[in-house]
Amino acid sequence: MNREQAKKLIIETFENPFDKGKFINFINNLLKTYDRSKALEPRSGIQGVTEKYLRFISSWERIGRYEDKDGKKIDILVVKLEKETSLYRARSAQRNFVAEYLRGKLGTGTTKDAALVAFISPASEDWRFSLVKLDYRFEETPSGKVKVKEEFTPAKRWSFLVGKNEKSHTAQSRFLPILENDDWKPTLKDLEKAFDVEIVTKEFFEKYRDLFIRTKLELDKIVQSNQEVKQEFESKNINTVDFAKKLLGQIVFLYFLQKKVWFGVERDKPWGTGPKDFIRKLFNKEYGEYENFYNDILEPLFYEALRTDRSADDHYYSRFNCKIPFLNGGLFDPINNFDWVNIDILLPNELFSNKNRTKEGDIGDGILDVFDRYNFTVNEEEPLEKEVALDPELLGKIYEKLNAIRPDNFDEYVKILKSGRKGRRNKVQ
């Protein structure tokens, strides 16, 4: 399968509501071959689910079984949840249900090592594609030998949130190499790597770092060419490094918040009913016209809408004709009391979104283009539950990595990046 075919397969499978036929087609191409004779028809009710999970699980079925070259048994399941909210809540119940299945406690006989599972909810356009894996507990015998103990540690689950309201860029980056290689029959270790959130976080930071450099350089051009801006920066002791850091930090923070669908809520409608792509809709002029996106849209959003308590008027913000929450905190204070009202920072709109083709073949390399491709989650991370998405802890990691960059070492930092060398300790990280 060539790259374009593989990419199309992932998009059709993961950017739409769950479709059993498309899911099976994806599994066929991912695993190359598996035992379809092990398929089981949907099982429901107390005999098929067991009483303690009936509140959460409606039914389940097995598509087939895959055994890798290491002898690891991996079942492919479709689990229907009892209600829509179960997709986002009761995660431990979903994980424990599959763990009991893997241990052979649901009338399925033999123990399995892992399962690839589609968790779907009634009437929901989104679903989860998960890897659930049992880990064995090892113990040392009196003679010093290590053996597998019969009991298992709690199961772990890694998940992609997919569906009509989600992007598949991360899934593409993780599964394309396997799909493109017709001879690659993945092992359980290969699948674990595909679900590794740390790889996704590292990839995102590299993109973020490049965006930071570009933003800083664009600000340099404005300061050099606009005397009014230059004077404001000098009088307020503002430098373009810190300005760029703050701007990107503000935008990425909003990407987490828009997952809560708190932005763009219609007047008199409850919180949680706004669009999941509010920032993109702002850029597309769906909430108001503009000439310069940063100056005319982002600055009022940051320094007026998000910093003003409008609870007396149900948080309604007339400029965008929608509700905007009040965020009390320093992130949306103008840097060094910068006069955002009277000083125009005309960053090019193309810095935020454009039609440039990336080396990966994606269209658009602006800030919003890059951020739009990634999945952001506001779920609290659990030791046994990992979502293959960017979580709020990323904000702290970004701060730590960029904190070492200062105006006096920026040029050295860029040179090190271009050469591929590592920064010196306590200098550039």
- How confident is the model over 49-105, as pLDDT tens digits? 888 888 899 999 999 999 999 999 999 999 999 876 656 667 888 999 999 999 887
**Tens digits of residue pLDDT in 394-410:** 888 888 888 878 888 88
pLDDT of res. 428: 39
pLDDT of res. 120: 95
Task: Judge contact between 351 and 218, C-beta under 8 A.
Answer: yes
**Tens digits of residue pLDDT in 21-57:** 999 999 999 999 999 999 999 998 877 888 888 889 9
User: Would you place residue 289 in the very low, low, confident or very high pLDDT band (cuts 50, 70, 90)?
Assistant: very high
pLDDT at 246 over 60: yes
For residue 364, which of 296, 251, 280, 301 has the smallest C-alpha distance? 280
Distance CA 81, CA 90 (A): 10
pLDDT at 307 over 50: yes
Task: Judge contact between 119 and 128, C-beta under 8 A.
Answer: yes
DSSP SS3 for 146: strand
79 DSSP β-pair partners? 60, 119
User: What's the whole-number average pLDDT of the chain?
Assistant: 89
Q: How many CB atoms lie within 10 A of CB 84?
A: 14
Distance CA 119, CA 88 (A): 11
Selected residue with higher pLDDT from 421 and 376: 376
For residue 167, which of 372, 309, 390, 21 has the smallest C-alpha distance? 372
Selected residue with higher pLDDT from 104 and 380: 104
User: Amino acid identity of 303?
Assistant: Y
pLDDT of res. 427: 40
Distance CA 86, CA 109 (A): 27
Q: What average pLDDT does the segment 325-351 reach?
A: 94
pLDDT at 2 over 90: yes
127: exposed, middle or buried (Cβ count in 10 Å: 0-12, 13-18, 19+): buried
Task: Judge contact between 91 and 381, C-beta under 8 A.
Answer: no
CA 385 to each of CA 35, 71, 92, 101, 192: distance values in angstroms, whole numbers, following the listed order: 28, 25, 8, 17, 13
For the residues of 86-139, what is the DSSP string, one character each? GGTS-HHHHHHHHHHHHTTTTTT-S--SEEEEEEE-TT-SEEEEEEEEEEEEEE
User: Would you place residue 423 in the very low, low, confident or very high pLDDT band (cuts 50, 70, 90)?
Assistant: very low
pLDDT at 419 over 90: no
pLDDT at 363 over 70: yes
Own/partner pairs, 363-367, CB within 8 angstroms, 24+ separation: 367/211, 367/215, 367/248, 367/251
For residue 414, which of 209, 223, 242 has the smallest C-alpha distance? 209
The C-alpha angle 91, 131, 382, rounded to 5 degrees, equals: 40
> So where are the chain's domains?
3-166, 200-419
Backbone φ, ψ for residue 153 (5° rounding) = -75, 165
Q: What average pLDDT does the segment 135-140 reach?
A: 60
Selected residue with higher pLDDT from 135 and 333: 333
pLDDT of res. 297: 98
pTM of the predicted model, to two decimals? 0.85
